[in-house]
Amino acid sequence: MPITSVRWLEGKTFVGTDSRNHSVVLSGDDPPRGVSPSEMLLVALSACTAYDVVAILAKKRIQLQSLEVIADGKRDEQPPWPYRSIHLTYRLKGRGLTDKAVSRAIELSEQKYCSVSATIRGVAQITTSYQILPE
């Protein structure tokens, strides 16, 4: 079971540490000195699904050269400002990429493998699109 910790530094700045002792600075300060906690959720979702997409395409022996996932979240205007919709845009480059392979990898990640997606799916609607870039 993963155990994480968050340690307050000063103001609205914290250091979060994961179960493997990797750290990230989080901040609500103005100007910010780290990632905002709510945007960290978007980063976590993007990284979780990117991990899956890379693994799925590798199993299909597709030579991925690059992958970027851009998350655009829409939040309520009133506290606690939950995300209600999140759109993920995948930008991929690689030899042998096809629409079928990419769309299936994204679908498998979102519906079967990504724990972050599974956790927030009931609160925020997640939509996706992708672009296959020329090599």
Query: Distance between CA 46 and CA 52 in Å, rounded?
Result: 10
Residue 32's pLDDT is 86
Entry pTM:
0.93
Question: Do 121 and 109 touch, CB atoms closer than 8 A?
Answer: no
Query: Distance between CA 51 and CA 125 in Å, rounded?
Result: 20
Which residue ranges form the domains of the chain, and what is each CATH number? 1-35 (2.20.25), 37-133 (3.30.300.20)
Quote the tokens at residue 23: 């750290």
Residue 126's pLDDT is 97
Residue 64's pLDDT is 95
Beta-carbon neighbour count of residue 105 at 10 Å?
27
What does the pLDDT profile of the chain (135 residues) look like in tens digits?
789 999 999 999 999 999 999 999 999 988 889 999 999 999 999 999 999 999 999 999 998 999 999 999 999 999 999 999 999 999 999 999 999 999 999 999 999 999 999 999 989 999 999 999 998
Residue 7's pLDDT is 97
